[in-house]
Chain A
Amino acid sequence: MRMSTDTVNKDVPPQEDPAAIADGWADAYTPEVNVYEPHRTQVPPLLPYVRELWRRREFAVEMSRMRLRSQHYGTMFGTAWLILSPLMLGVVYFVLVDIIRGGNRPAGFFTHLLGGVFAYYLFSDAVRPAARSVTGGGRLILNTAFPRALLPLSAVIVSIMRFLPTLPVYAVLHVATGRPVGIEMLWAVVVFAEIVLFAAGVSMLVAAGQVYFRDLKEFLPYLMRVWLYLSPVLWYADEVPHGYDFLLYVNPLGSMLTAWSEALNSATTPGLDWLLIGLAWAVGAFVAGGLFFVSREREFAVRL
């Protein structure tokens, strides 16, 4: 069975109760008419859905803030972990890869790896919590009607909030290691947008998938680790031996992280092919993940 509903908010004549108008609640609580009925396609009308999503954006932002605060509340270094944790991870990976390479590292490899780790965790720190975002929101989902996509999207917002403090750290190390600086580095903003869009799509996909398959979250850490090793983070894209270069195309993060390194680490204009392939993956994942999520979200209340 396909379950989906049209929700229509319309303006209706003003409230008659003068007392209510006097105390301001008439303005605050706009009288509304909601119509719930099945529709022909699985997907609800997207414009009203997006409008509702936007109307409740404060919920997603507030939840992200609370989650971020609760993750580091009571720890010795508090919010400093937002910088310390990815930095230590980057250093550990660098030492590991440097040992494997026998100390024979290409130019700018440290900043390439560090920037890549930060960008990769922007993606994976969104997807892993997103998988539990719907199944963990039981009471709210059973009690309140709201666009459920807010739940995985707030996991993406948390990840962005975790990512932003790493940028100054990267900037300091970039300059300190003598890497080039140029206007071309601004291309990283475009790649950042692609990664966020891709992360949002995958987050919605796994959040809905977790409702149907509760063991999905057990697979995700392994999947994420393998994905990191298959992405140009611990190695340069141009180091890929002949025969393995397809990995950069079939792995959505392959093109995005290659463009990321070219823009941020080398301060060059990324290859147009990387940008376009990355954009196609990002838009494709966002549309597919989003449509899958909204077509299924009405079932969540009976599946939790």
Chain B
Amino acid sequence: MSSLSASDVRPQAAPAPSAPPAAIKVQNVSITYQSALQDRQTLVGTLSRLRRRRKILREVRAVRDVSFEVPRGTVLGIIGANGAGKSTLVRAMAGILPPTSGRIEVHGRVSTLLALGVGFDRKLTGRQNVVLGGLAAGLSREQLAAKYEEIVAFAELEEFMDMPMRTYSAGMYGRLAFSVAVNMEPDILLIDEALSVGDAHFKRKSFDKMRELCESAHTIVLVSHGMNAMRQLADEVLWLHKGQIREYGPPREVIRAYKRFMRVEDDDQTAEEDV
């Protein structure tokens, strides 16, 4: 493990000539966005703030000059404190948030599990949400039909698929979201803080599914505060701190440095849990 600046990281993270080609290339990426100062920005509120000559927007520099590569078939774990820029970076890899500068190249079909949710509307049924989410992601009806039973069976929600999703518990909601994401047979799977959903039985099942995906040469980017899962699943771990890469390297070493930095004891079980 080494302490690396963003520009130092690239040579280390870049694959050797014999290594598989990069599935994701992140080159000097910075992401800055403007966020409203009001919780709920309204026309009336904005005019009022402008009249009082008060600022209506603040600038958030979420990611700062970050470079790394994720070789095909690699599981990259991203760790960091709240507000470190982890979710923003993963959303940029998914094409949801644009980089302000730099370039992101993604080779392959991406499936995402970012906002711990699937689909569009809680008033619609589970079945309708799976169809809408799949079509929005660019799948055809034939592809969805081929995968639908598998998704439902994995989520174990056969009797609930024709009920509105507002009747689902948080666990059921999470199970369906996870099942959709992992069963779309993506080349690249991006998961943000959503590894552990449902009851103990489903947690075990989802963890096993993740291992299966890892072993079948899928490229996975995993954001989690669960250090135990990171150690078991990730090939490399990237530690983001205030939008910059603090460390990049083997999971055990990066996690140890991170926990030392966060002043968490090595045997602290709370930090080990998947959350």
Contact = CB atoms under 8 A, between A and B. Distances in A.
Contacts of A145: 94-96, 110, 112
Contacts of A301: 91, 96-97
Interface stretch (A178-186, A209-217, A234-242): A209-217
A140 B133 contact: yes
Given A56-B138, A59-B136, A215 B32 contact: no
A142 B115 CA distance: 6
Nearest to B24: A34
Given A214-B40, A216-B43, A55 B138 contact: yes
Nearest to B59: A1
B43 A213 contact: yes
A99 interface: no
Interface string A193-229: 0000000000000000000111110010000000000
A173 to B, nearest CB: 35
A150 B138 CA distance: 12
A272 B270 CA distance: 74
Contacts of A29: 109, 143, 185, 187
Given A33-B105, A36-B106, A142-B115, A212 B99 contact: no
Contact of B137 (A4, A62, A136, A144): A144
B98 A38 contact: yes
Nearest to A298: B98
B120 A140 contact: yes
A59 B185 CA distance: 20
A21 interface: no
Contacts of A63: 120, 132
Contacts of A136: 121
Nearest to A219: B43
A56 B135 contact: yes
Contacts of A35: 103-106
Contacts of B120: 63, 137, 139-140
Interface string B25-39: 000000011111000
Contacts of A140: 119-120, 132-133, 136
Interface in A245-288: none
Contact of A215 (B42, B124, B135): B42
A62 to B, nearest CB: 6
B102 interface: yes
A303 B36 contact: yes
Contact of B41 (A70, A144, A212): A212
B185 A302 contact: no
A98 interface: no
A146 B137 CA distance: 7
B57 to A, nearest CB: 9
Contacts of B133: 140, 143-144
Interface string B77-114: 00000000000000110111111111111111110111
A5 B99 contact: yes
B93 to A, nearest CB: 8
Contacts of B98: 3-5, 36, 38, 298
Contacts of B43: 213, 215-216, 219
B105 A66 contact: no
A298 B88 CA distance: 13
Contact of B106 (A33, A55, A58, A62): A33
B128 interface: yes
B140 interface: yes
Given A144-B136, A212-B41, A213-B42, A7 B95 contact: yes
A1 B138 contact: no
Interface of B: 32-36, 40-46, 59-60, 91-92, 94-110, 112-115, 117-121, 123-124, 128, 131-133, 135-143, 146, 185, 187
Given A28-B140, A28-B146, 16 more contacts: A3-B97, A5-B98, A12-B107, A24-B146, A31-B187, A34-B106, A34-B110, A58-B141, A63-B132, A136-B121, A138-B115, A142-B96, A143-B112, A146-B137, A303-B35, A303-B36
